[in-house]
Amino acid sequence: MMNKVELISSLIKDRRSFYPHEYIEGEIPNEHIDLILENANWAPNHGLTEPWRFFVFEKEGLQALSEAQGNIYKDNTSEEEFDQARYEKLVKLPLQSSHVIAIIMKRGSNPKIPKVEEIEAVACAVQNMALTVTALGYGGYWSTGGMVKFKESKEFFGLGEEDEFLGLFYMGKIPRENKIGKRKEIKEKVTWVR
């Protein structure tokens, strides 16, 4: 039996991004979505501001997200820059997923806590989500593209001036084979100061 360090290390090293085109048919049970979100809720955050907010899209909600993502891209992209294949991909991504979670940073009222710390806390929450998705045997992918860069997306989610829309977390069932990961040696990225 693995101890806690071996277990968390294994889970971290097994986590991979799985994209919507890789998902197989079937929905993730909502009780698993609840568990994924509960674990996100336990991320570290300065001042206990808990700045993460989530919109969960499923079933017909995926169609609404698909249309919104396509329309926001189309309405905010010049004719010269518009890419039909990109548009079609943005429309298709939610429809290939079991669930999609919009990731929001809701800015707290304490001016002593820098905005970047609120964003980093949300990133920790997303890491908790990704690890839980992996532990449950599903695939997930945090996208910061698509509708994220357009201010109309903030309006779509009813966000305030200081709030941020940080991306979409796509999820779905996946085939059981694992992707092999690779990283450069950690010693190439660390400087010890003694």
Q: Which of 122, 124, 126 is nearest to 134 (CA)?
A: 126
> What mean pLDDT is predicted for residues 184-194?
95
Chain centroid, CA 126 distance in Å:
6
pLDDT digits (tens, 9 = 90+) for 17-31: 999 999 999 999 999
Q: Where would I find the H helices in 22-160? A: 30-40, 60-75, 84-95, 115-136, 151-156
pLDDT digits (tens, 9 = 90+) for 48-65: 999 999 999 999 999 999
Contacts of 120 (CB under 8 A, 6+ apart): none
Half-sphere exposure of 158 (CA within 13 A, CB side): 3
Q: How far is CA 120 from CA 15, 29, 46, 51, 189, in A?
A: 19, 28, 10, 10, 21
Domains of the chain: 15-189 (3.40.109.10)
pLDDT digits (tens, 9 = 90+) for 132-166: 999 999 999 999 988 998 999 999 999 999 999 99
Confirm whether pTM is higher than 0.75.
yes
Q: How confident is the model at residue 177 (pLDDT cuts 50, 70, 90)?
A: confident
Q: How confident is the model at residue 108 (pLDDT cuts 50, 70, 90)?
A: confident
Burial class (CB in 10 A: 0-12, 13-18, 19+), 76: middle
